[in-house]
Structures are given as C-alpha cells and as structure tokens.
C-alpha cells in the first residue's frame, strides 16, 4: 500500500510541475466554457433590418414601432422602392426587409387580411429562420391584441413554445456538450500522455523491473486525473450556474455520480490509447483524432443525431459521450431522476467496465 | 593575419545571462591541420563550435573562419565549410543516392557535379550494393562514413565534426579516422570534437576546455610530457583534478 | 551461479540481435559486457531483467528463471538502463525516496550501501534531477538502483557520454560495491574500462567473441604487436597497408599497431620498406596487446 501511495505522490508532483499539463488541465476548460457561452450564440440581438412601407398608415406605424422597440431588431433604413430591396441586401447592410403592402389598414378592416412580406438574407439559414420566426412572433402578438376587440369566427392560433429552453438560449445546449468534451479530452488525453511519457523517457523500464504490480501503475496514473477532472467538472457547473444562469433542475448528487462514471470511462480509454502508443505525440494525436472529433461530430453535441444518416447514427451509439450528454441534459435541464435515465446509465456503466477490462488486459508487462 | 591560418579566434565569448559558457578563448588552426577540440560535457565546446560554424552569435571577441567574420559573414561561413553532427547526419528515410543528391543540391553543386561526386563517393566507400537502400537500414558505421563524405561533397576548406564516432566499433572508428587523415592530407582542415580520449591522440594539436576556458593547447606528445601522463586520458584527469 | 545464460537467441523483425549467447556470472563478480552499439548488450540486459522474452534458450538470475519467475527477479535486482532513467522533474531526494518506496524500503534502511556515493550529490538533494550534470545523474541513478539492496545489479552503459573523471570515480565505486557481496553485470563500449572487470565478454553483432579475465584475453592474443611511428601518420598507414605481409594495421594514438602475417617477422625489413616510401623518423618497437587489439582481431 505504501508503494502505491509513493507512486501516486510522484504522479501529483509531475502534474503540478509541468506548466503545460496544468494549462490544459485547468486553463482550457475554463477558456472553452467562457468562449462557447459568450461568443457563440444562436439567438439574435439587434439585428439590422429595413422597412419598405407602401401604406404608411396607422397600423403599419404601430407594427413598425413594436418591432423597433424589441431588443431583437434595429431598424437601420427605411427604403422607398422595391428595387432598393436587392441593393440593400447586396450591400450587406441588413439581414431582413419587411415589405408592407399598399393599403394595409384598409385591407385588414375590409377583408380581414393583410400581407406583409418578411424577406430574410438566408445566406445564413439558421439566423434567417430565427429572424423570420421572431418577426412572426411579434406579428402574432400584435394580431392577437387586435383580435381581442373584434369578434371573428374560430381561429386556431398556433402557439409554439420552446420547452425547457423558452428563450432558445444556446448556452443550455453548449454547456452539457462542452463539459462532456472537456472531461473526455482531459481525462483520456492526459492519462495517455502521462503513461507514454514514462515509456519515452525510459523510466517505464525501471517501473516494470520493480515490485510494483501493473494494476498499481494503472490506478496510480489514473487517480490524480480522476481527482482533477472532478474539480474541473465542478468548476464548469459552477460557472454555468452563476455566470450563464443555467439551471440545474435535477439532483446535484446524481449529476456528480454520473460525471464520475463518465470520467472513469474516459480514463480507461486513455489507458487503452497508451497501450498502443509509443510516444506522447502519438498518444495526443489518437486522443484528438480518435476521441475528440467523433465526440464533437457524433455525440449529438452540435449536430442532432436524428438528422444524421443511418450508419452514423448507429456508430454514434458506441460513443460514450453520446449517452453522457443525454444524461446530463436530462439532469440539468429536465430535472429527471435515475428512473428516466437508468437505461443510459447502464449502457455507460457497461462501456466503462469493458474499457477497463480491455486496458488491463492489453497493458504490457514486458517491453514488446 | 597569417595566410596559413584558416581559423582565427581571439577572446571569443558567449554569455547566457551572467553565465559565461565560453569565456574569452583564443587560438588558431592552420590549414590542413587536424585540430581536436576536447572537453567534458558542459565545458563549452559545443557552444564554441556553434559560434564558429555561424549558427550562434558571439557576445564578445573576434573570430574568422575560412577568412570570413563570424559576426558579419555567418552566411558565407556556412557556404564554405562542411559540418557533420552525430545527431542530424542523414535522412534515414531517403536512400544513399538520394541523400547525396539532396545535400549536393543544398551546397549548390551543379547536377553534373553531383552525379560525378555521387559515383566517386559510392565507389570509394564501397556502397555500390546499397546505393539504393534506405540509409536507415545501414549499420551505424556505414552511416557515419557516408555522413562524413557528404559533409565534404562541396570540397570545403574546413570541415567541423561534432562527436562523429560515438558508439561504433573500434575497427569502424579507425576506418573513419583514416578518412579524416586522407582529407587532411589533401589540404582540408579538420576541426573535431570528441570525448574519446584515445582519439585525441590522432590529432595534430589538441585543446582542452574546462568551464568555458581553454586550459591546455598543444600537440598530444607535448601535453603528455607537460602533465607527465601516459596518455591523453591521464592528461585530462590531471587537468580536471587541478 | 548468480547469472546463467544458456543459448539465448533473440530477433526483432528481421534483425538477429542475439545469436546463441551463453555465459555465467559468479556471485559478487564484476562482469563486463564489452562491445559497440548494436552489439546486443541492451537486448541481453532486457532479457535478463525480464523485460523481453528470448526466442530461444534459457536464463536465470539469482536462481530464478527469467520467464517463469520473473516477478521474483523484479523484486530482487537493481537495474540502471541506458540514459539513466530518472524523473527529471523530481529532486534528487524525491527520486531516491520514490525508488525506495516502491521497493518497500526506506532511504535510511540501506543507507550504508549508498553512503559513499550519495555524499557526493547530497549537497544537491533539492535540485531537480533534470538540472544535474551527467556525472551527478549517473551517481543518482546508481543510488536509486542500489537503494533496496539488490543481490544482482544490472548497469547498461552507465558511463557513456560522461566525462573521464566521473567515469573513473564510477568504476571505483563499483569495485567497492563488489566487496559488499553484490553481483554486478556492466556493459560498456569503452575498452579501457574492460580492464577493471573481473571477467569480460567481448560481444559484437549479437555474438560473443570471447570470455575470460582481461589479463588472459590479452595474453592469448595470437600475434606479436609492434608499435610503429613515423613523421607522417597518413603516409605511414598507407605504406603499411601496401606492405604485402601485413596482417593488421590499426592506428593507435601516435602509433600504428602492426602485426605481420609471418611467424618469423624481422622488423628491419619493414623499416627498409618504409624508408623506401620516403618516411622519416621511423620507430618500430614491440608492444603488448590491449583488449581493443583483441577485440578487433576477433571481430574481423
């Protein structure tokens, strides 16, 4: 036991004396969270739009005022003719144009129907969609108000609400994803690098020709990183709650347990990678290419799995990150308990056990 | 300025902060001489050599190599000398021929000249059978001999050898030194560092660096007399013990 | 027997690193494995320290088989691989503590064994190992290999790349360790260090050329060696190689070691030949063979 503790002590020394490791371990996660949280947003703010008002009556003026008042839009220009629309888009000055038809008020009163065209610059389809939706929301609201005073036959007004994330805050989507990636990357990459470093330096030979058992070496290498990854996870969750106001609806304890499970699976993967790498550089490459890329692309973090082609959907099932993201989102955003995510937890558990068994088996007790 | 001197060094110094890695060394090397540059690891020989071959700028002092000033004409120096380092000699994943062609090109030889030289070199070293084999597959001794020949491919006046014979068997080492003798005999000046003290004996003159300074400089014979030593290893021990 | 090696062969991919090696090392013997890079020294060490499994043959260390009883060997030997594998970012003291701990002992327990060596680096005990000079790293690595009082010590090229003063001191330390009943197997490319061993094995290209005490090895050199000197080394070498009766011509410092192919060789004849080549200051004297001469003769 004493040997084991002596070994762990050494591992902690290595980590804290290597400034690069420390940076990756602590600096990167924080940087990523802040970056993703603040910089990358799907929501819109102060989008420049232009108005082409053929009617210029009281109704259109009211609508335009409502739009101007909203924080989402900023009326950049009033244009006078249809031909101006293309020009202003080409110049890139606005992202949308609202085109009110002639005699808007009159048509509304007489025919109960008036048209306004929402033209959006769809070179960025996501934003265009969102702009269109927001404008329609404003119009709907206005229309609803109007209709209160008039009696009209049954009209089903579709009311859509975004559940769990009503403001469609992208942070809610990114935090679970970034947390997963960081835990995966830090645990797997750091562990694999730590083991291959010993191989590269030649100290692995001495460790082998000693009473230390292989299992002691593996656990000894992994232990500090479990510890540090947990700290990382805590920091990320705290940042999300206090800076991004992201709620954690479910049990923090469950969140912690599931995170530890995931961390262990990532560490086991790290050990596995180290058994097939001779140099630190190889280990790092495999970690990045073999783990991070599939995790980013196939875990459902950025691209929804359901929209992927079938073969990729099947492949995504073997990526532990996929299951973990479902679990985190469930706990953080939906507040579910174990009874709703037991299936995913079991799968993750199974994978973890498998990776551990495999890496112990592949761990070489000799040099070749 | 003696025309027969190809290397002139006076008060050459290299400081790293407060630390004097090379501390005002002074010496000269004559044309066609085999000059041994000895010293323990960390004594400053590699730093000194880097200044002479133009890849490190001195802090103070003066030196000319092949007539060019190390401060202002470093690029000219590089073009006129040969350099062989034990660590970065040849490309393991290129063949013998490809390596020769590559380095010939780097030194600015014409294609015709490269072809001539290549043929001559391969014949001289007896590498006909392996001319198209990857250098990485050759035994260490052959690699080193080839590396040496390549460093001479552009007929430089001076060739700098940095620990060229590490690790090879005694026979190959001697073959290597016979190649050095031949080059010196043809007028090439050879500046060699080594930590094999017995090789120091092959040199015409030897300098020994201790902690940045040259503590001894003479022919091996005179040094042995001076320190009452049986061989160069003993000279070194007596010098180091103070 | 402390170490027995019987017909060990080992190949990597297409290279035969060890070809049918056999020898024995007695308890408390200082045994040297002498040969250049690529001879197979490191491979042999790895087989004996149970890091590699040979393709053929058997070996035993301290009575334990290297394959079936590898765990016992790993608990009982000290190993210093090439390049003194130390933890560069741990201090001298931390390194020593670490190795003591993983072998289940403390620095104090066996301090008397390493004391003479450790006092030389003790002033630097809080310095990171990466910042030590070559000679000091060497001493630290030796201490770390000894700290658990192993019965057998394996030192793979412990003096390579280290200055002559440190090399000398290192061998003096090894001699003293012998007296504490530790069997030591050392490999080195330096022929002059061979003379300091009890017995040596000359190894080249995976084969053992000869095993014996250093004195016996040079005594059995088959020919008489002559030191030849002249005014111009290069011409001397060429002239000697031109001489049709030469058996070997090897530069040795300021002399050339010359052996003749005939049994009744008269140096005067050689002198005449050399004079005819316009060499001056010719000297020819008999001299004793060295281990290096023997090595080259056997390796030819």
Residues A126 and A205 in one domain: no
Residues A313 and A352 in one domain: yes
Residues A304 and A335 in one domain: yes
The pLDDT tens digits of the residues spanning B51-83 come to 999 888 999 999 999 999 999 998 889 888 999
Residues C174 and C275 in one domain: no
| Closest among A1, A26, A56 to A225, alpha carbons compared | A26
Cα(C296)–Cα(B170) distance, integer angstroms: 7
Choose the final residue of a domain: C193, C219, C245.
C219
* Identity of the highest mean pLDDT range in A111-125, A143-157, B228-242, C84-98: C84-98
Residues C202 and C266 in one domain: no
How sure is the predictor about B36, in pLDDT bands with cuts at 50, 70 and 90? very high
Residues A32 and A51 in one domain: no
How sure is the predictor about C238, in pLDDT bands with cuts at 50, 70 and 90? very high
Which range is least confidently modeled, A242-246, B109-113, C204-208? A242-246
CATH of the domain at A109: 3.40.1710.10
User: Does pLDDT of B179 surpass 50?
Assistant: yes
Higher pLDDT, A246 or C108: C108
**Chain C neighbours among A 179-198 (CB < 8 Å)?**
none
Number of Cβ within a 10 Å radius of residue C178: 16
What's the rounded mean pLDDT across residues A134-141? 84
Count structural domains, chain B. 1
Residues A99 and A68 in one domain: yes
The pLDDT tens digits of the residues spanning A147-181 come to 776 655 444 444 454 455 555 556 666 778 878 88
Residue A257 maps to a domain:
yes
Residue-level pLDDT at A157: 47
Residues A184 and A271 in one domain: yes
Residue B68 maps to a domain:
no
Q: Is A68 on the interface with C (CB under 8 A)?
A: no
What's the rounded mean pLDDT across residues A58-69? 89
Which chain B residue shows the shortest CA-CA distance from C190?
Answer: B196
- Across chain B, mean pLDDT equals 89
Contact C299 B171 (CB under 8 A): yes
Please list, in sequence order, all residues whose beta carbon lies within 8 angstroms of the beta carbon of residue B233, skipping any fewer than 6 positions away: B197, B198, C164, C192
Residue A164 maps to a domain:
no
Choose the final residue of a domain: A115, A148, A181.
A148
Residue B8 maps to a domain:
no
Using CB atoms, which chains have 3+ pairs under 8 A with C?
Answer: A, B
Residues A123 and A267 in one domain: no
Which chain C residue shows the shortest CA-CA distance from A367?
Answer: C51
Mutation test of the interface with chain C: which of B86, B198, B209, choosing the one with the most C Cβ atoms within 10 A? B198
Residue A156 maps to a domain:
no
Count structural domains, chain C. 2
Residues C175 and C270 in one domain: no
Residues C107 and C157 in one domain: yes
Residues C187 and C88 in one domain: yes
Residue B212 maps to a domain:
yes
Residues A129 and A241 in one domain: no
What's the rounded mean pLDDT across residues C227-237? 91
Residue B55 maps to a domain:
no
Give the minimum alpha-carbon distance from B169 to chain C in angstroms, rounded to a whole number: 5
Residues C246 and C143 in one domain: no
How sure is the predictor about B37, in pLDDT bands with cuts at 50, 70 and 90? very high
Residue B107 maps to a domain:
yes
Residue-level pLDDT at C155: 95
Please list, in sequence order, all residues whose beta carbon lies within 8 angstroms of the beta carbon of residue B165, skipping any fewer than 6 positions away: B144, B172, B173, B176, B177, B194, B196, B199
Phi, psi of A230 (to 5 degrees): -65, -45
3-state secondary structure of B230: coil
What's the rounded mean pLDDT across residues C15-24? 93
- C195 is in which domain, residue-wise? 3-219
Higher pLDDT, A189 or A303: A189
Count structural domains, chain A. 2
Residues A226 and A340 in one domain: yes
Residues A118 and A250 in one domain: no
Residue B195 maps to a domain:
yes
Q: Which chain A residues are Cβ-neighbours of C53 within 8 angstroms?
A: 366
Residues A107 and A235 in one domain: no
Using CB atoms, which chains have 3+ pairs under 8 A with A?
Answer: C
**Do chain B and A touch: 3 or more Cβ pairs under 8 angstroms?**
no
The pLDDT tens digits of the residues spanning C181-202 come to 899 999 998 888 998 999 999 9
The pLDDT tens digits of the residues spanning C247-266 come to 999 999 889 999 999 888 89
- As for the ipTM of the complex, it is 0.83
Nearest by CB to C89, which of A9, A14, A206? Answer: A14
Q: How far is CA B126 from each of CA B121, B130, B146, B183, rounded to the nearest angstrom? A: 8, 9, 10, 17
Residue A175 maps to a domain:
yes
Q: Is A157 on the interface with C (CB under 8 A)?
A: no
The pLDDT tens digits of the residues spanning C264-296 come to 889 899 999 999 988 989 999 999 999 999 999
Residue-level pLDDT at A43: 62
Work out the percent of chain A whose per-residue pLDDT is above 90: 6
Cα(A294)–Cα(A299) distance, integer angstroms: 7
Contact C191 B170 (CB under 8 A): yes
Residue-level pLDDT at B88: 61
Query: ∠ at Cα B86 (B170, B12), nearest 5°?
Result: 115
β-pair partners for A49 = A75, A96
Give me the torsion for CA of C211, C216, C220, C226, rounded to 10°: 120
Residues A33 and A54 in one domain: no
Nearest by CB to B233, which of C164, C234, C251? Answer: C164
| DSSP letters for B152-210 | TTT--SEEEEESTTTT--HHHHHHHHHHHHHHHHTT-EEEEE-S-HHHHTTSSEEEEEE
Residue-level pLDDT at A150: 62
Residues C215 and C229 in one domain: no
What's the rounded mean pLDDT across residues C165-172? 88
Residue-level pLDDT at A164: 54
Work out the percent of chain A whose per-residue pLDDT is above 70: 89
Contact C250 B174 (CB under 8 A): yes
- Across chain C, mean pLDDT equals 91
- A138 is in which domain, residue-wise? 47-148
Choose the final residue of a domain: C219, C246, C275.
C219
Higher pLDDT, A195 or A173: A195
What's the rounded mean pLDDT across residues B95-124? 90
Choose the final residue of a domain: C191, C219, C247.
C219
**Do chain A and C touch: 3 or more Cβ pairs under 8 angstroms?**
yes
CATH of the domain at B226: 3.40.50.300
Residue A157 maps to a domain:
no
Residue-level pLDDT at A171: 65
Which chain C residue shows the shortest CA-CA distance from A199?
Answer: C85
């Amino acid at each position: 036991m004493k040997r084991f503790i002596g070994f762990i002590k050494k591992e902690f020394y290595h980590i804290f004396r290597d400034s690069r490791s420390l940076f990756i371990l602590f600096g990167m996660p924080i940087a990523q969270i802040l970056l993703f949280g603040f910089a990358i947003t799907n929501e819109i703010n102060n989008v420049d739009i232009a108005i082409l008002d053929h009617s210029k009556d009281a109704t259109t003026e009211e609508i335009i005022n409502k739009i101007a008042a909203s924080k989402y839009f900023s009326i950049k220009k009033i244009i006078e003719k249809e031909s101006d629309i293309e020009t202003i888009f080409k110049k890139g000055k606005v992202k949308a144009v609202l085109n009110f038809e002639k005699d808007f008020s009159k048509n509304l009163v007489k025919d109960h129907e008036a048209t306004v065209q929402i033209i959006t610059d769809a070179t960025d389809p996501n934003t265009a969609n969102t702009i269109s939706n927001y404008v329609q929301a404003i119009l709907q609201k206005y229309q609803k108000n109007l209709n209160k005073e008039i009696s009209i036959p049954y009209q089903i007004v579709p009311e859509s609400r975004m559940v769990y994330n009503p403001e469609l805050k992208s942070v809610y989507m990114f935090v679970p994803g970034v947390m997963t990636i960081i835990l995966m990357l830090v645990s797997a990459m750091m562990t694999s690098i730590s083991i291959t470093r010993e191989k590269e330096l030649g100290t692995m030979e001495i460790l082998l020709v000693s009473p230390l058992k292989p299992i002691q070496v593996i656990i000894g290498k992994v232990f500090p990183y479990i510890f540090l990854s947990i700290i990382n996870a805590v920091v990320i969750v705290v940042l999300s709650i206090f800076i991004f106001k992201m709620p954690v609806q479910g049990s923090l304890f469950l969140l912690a347990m599931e995170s530890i499970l995931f961390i262990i699976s990532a560490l086991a993967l790290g050990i596995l990678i180290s058994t097939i790498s001779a140099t630190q550089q190889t280990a790092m490459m495999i970690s990045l290419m073999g783990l991070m890329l599939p995790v980013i692309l196939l875990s459902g973090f950025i691209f929804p799995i359901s929209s992927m082609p079938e073969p990729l959907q099947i492949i995504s099932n073997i990526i532990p990150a996929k299951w973990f993201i479902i679990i985190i989102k469930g706990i953080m955003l939906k507040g579910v308990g174990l009874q709703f995510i037991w299936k995913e937890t079991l799968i993750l558990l199974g994978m973890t056990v498998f990776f551990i068994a495999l890496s112990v088996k592949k761990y070489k007790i000799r040099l070749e | 300025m003696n025309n027969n001197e190809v290397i002139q060094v006076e008060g050459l110094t290299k400081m790293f902060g407060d630390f004097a890695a090379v501390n005002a060394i002074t010496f000269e090397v004559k044309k066609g001489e085999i000059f041994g540059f000895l010293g323990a690891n960390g004594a400053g020989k590699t730093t000194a050599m880097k200044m002479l071959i133009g890849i490190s700028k001195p802090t103070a002092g003066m030196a000319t190599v092949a007539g060019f000033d190390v401060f202002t004409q470093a690029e000219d120096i590089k073009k006129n000398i040969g350099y062989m380092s034990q660590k970065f000699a040849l490309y393991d994943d290129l063949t013998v021929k490809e390596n020769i062609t590559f380095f010939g090109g780097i030194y600015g030889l014409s294609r015709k000249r490269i072809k001539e030289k290549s043929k001559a070199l391969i014949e001289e070293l007896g590498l006909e059978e392996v001319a198209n084999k990857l250098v990485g597959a050759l035994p260490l001794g052959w690699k080193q001999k080839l590396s040496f020949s390549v460093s001479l491919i552009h007929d430089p006046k001076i060739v700098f050898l940095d620990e060229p014979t590490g690790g090879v068997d005694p026979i190959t080492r001697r073959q290597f030194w016979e190649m050095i003798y031949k080059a010196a005999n043809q007028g090439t000046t050879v500046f060699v560092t080594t930590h094999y003290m017995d090789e120091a004996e092959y040199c015409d003159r030897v300098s020994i660096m201790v902690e940045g300074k040259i503590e001894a400089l003479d022919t091996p014979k005179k040094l042995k007399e001076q320190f009452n030593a049986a061989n160069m290893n003993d000279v070194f021990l007596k010098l180091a013990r103070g | 027997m402390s170490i027995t090696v019987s017909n060990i062969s080992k190949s990597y991919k297409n290279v035969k690193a060890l070809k049918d090696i056999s020898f024995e090392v007695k308890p408390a013997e200082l045994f040297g494995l002498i040969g250049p890079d690529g001879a197979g020294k490191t491979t042999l060490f790895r087989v004996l320290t149970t890091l590699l499994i040979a393709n053929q043959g058997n070996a035993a260390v301290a009575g334990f088989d290297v394959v079936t009883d590898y765990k016992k060997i790993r608990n009982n030997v000290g190993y210093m691989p090439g390049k003194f594998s130390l933890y560069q970012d741990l201090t001298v003291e931390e390194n020593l503590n670490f190795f003591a701990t993983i072998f289940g002992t403390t620095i104090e327990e066996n301090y008397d064994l390493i004391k003479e060596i450790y006092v030389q680096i003790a002033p630097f005990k809080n310095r990171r190992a990466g910042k030590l000079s070559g000679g000091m790293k060497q001493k630290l690595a030796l201490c770390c290999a000894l700290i658990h009082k192993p019965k057998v010590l394996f030192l793979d090229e412990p003096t390579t790349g280290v200055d002559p003063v440190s090399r000398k001191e290192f061998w003096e330390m090894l001699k003293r360790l012998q007296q504490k009943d530790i069997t030591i197997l050392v490999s080195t490319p330096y022929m002059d260090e061979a003379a300091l061993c009890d017995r040596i094995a000359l190894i080249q290209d995976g084969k053992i050329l000869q095993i014996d005490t250093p004195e016996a090895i040079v005594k059995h050199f088959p020919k008489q060696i002559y030191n030849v000197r002249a005014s111009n080394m290069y011409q001397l070498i060429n002239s000697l190689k031109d001489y049709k009766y030469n058996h070997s011509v090897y530069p040795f410092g300021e002399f050339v070691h010359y052996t003749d192919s005939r049994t009744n060789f008269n140096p005067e004849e050689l002198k005449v030949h050399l004079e005819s080549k316009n060499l001056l200051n010719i000297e020819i004297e008999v001299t004793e063979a060295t281990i290096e001469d023997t090595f080259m003769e056997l390796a030819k």
